[in-house]
Structure 1
């Protein structure tokens, strides 16, 4: 009876952690803006696309995955043995769970990106990396570069 209750708690905690990690994913593509970017003046320049290539954008590396994984691992590890064995199992489970949680967070939030190389009207070149949303850019296409401080995005 106690084992069933513990398994149910571990399963529930793992589900909550998974949902929390999914909420950490960012979708800042060429046509998406963060809330902080709203109502800010942006510089617009025009350019011509030279080339594009798909790239991988690494996932987030916050402490959410580590903490959630550590909690789940600690609870699962504490169910092994009794007394000192349970405490050792909890510590080992927490460490292993923390490492697994961090890796899971990075993997779940990893996304496809695109590196777009453009030729500005003054003849200089620039490469911009943004999340790929399926938009089809082609070499020779005129595009807008929208810049806000250190953030630049390419839009048709």
Structure 2
């Protein structure tokens, strides 16, 4: 990992590189491909924030955040939430700090927009990313969303 890690908007110039990103085969059931994320970003409009993770201009991953979305529209008392919607670090780039960088940038963007906490959902189980998110300060809320665990971090506690 270099000191030139950035997040970039998706453009006609980098879309093919984003679509080529792949997790390891054993992780394919844990995170949707970039194409699905971009389709979701398109239909959700301004609430989605898709970004390419670059290291020195080289694509190494993809992150997508969401801002001020109601967690469950069937529960009228539920508060708006912002957080990490999708994180994918290319199979050959994992373990290099790119995921941590992306989560920190999402948390910074939530803070910039006036948010006080960040939410993430993930597949539970021994092969899932619960430990990764716990190391970044996310704590399970006890809720499930679409079969996924929900965890949050107060941004005053986040990296």
Normalised TM-score (structure 2): 0.26
Q: Which has the higher contact order (CA 8 A, sep 6+)?
A: 1
Greater helix share, structure number: 1
Normalised TM-score (structure 1): 0.27
Greater strand share, structure number: 2
